[in-house]
Amino acid sequence: MHLTSGPDLMSIDWAALKAEAVRAMGHAYAPYSKFPVGAAALVDDGRIVSGCNVENASYGIGLCAECGLVSALQATGGGRLVAFTCVDGHEELLMPCGRCRQLLYEFGGPELLLETVDGPKPMSEILPYAFGPENLSRGA
């Protein structure tokens, strides 16, 4: 699943991404909420990375599936996220929380495509007026 240039809806195998998200969801550690989550993304070099949520008895330090996905991205060579999907325990599409939208923006930018119930949408639509690395250059 390699892309010839930027995100192109025709070159993204959304079914394969969802299947990988479902596989990752099967490894989730969710003994407290009973809400397993899996995420998968296509990287600009054609790799697929994935992650699952990992809860903790101290609820506030649980990790979202997107955190695991970004960690896998960096651990396997980095790159830019091109397309992203996320599923719940019923294999239904799930939108990232606000914190995770910001995390995905950092590693995919405004062009990153997210699978939604209304079809793929660019991150610029999912997280309008996002704060990103380019904003830091305006500092002192």
Catalytic positions, written as ranges: 66
Q: Are the CB atoms for 83 and 7 separated by under 8 Å?
A: yes
Sign of torsion over alpha carbons 98, 114, 92, 19: negative
Phi, psi of 90 (to 5 degrees): -100, 10
> Crossing angle, helix 65-75 and helix 14-25, to 10 degrees?
110
Q: Which of 65, 63, 62 is nearest to 24 (CA)?
A: 65
Q: CA–CA distance from 21 to each of 36, 40, 93, 128 (Å)?
A: 11, 5, 10, 25
Please name the residues in contact with 102: beta carbons below 8 A apart, sequence gap of 6 or more: 127, 130, 131
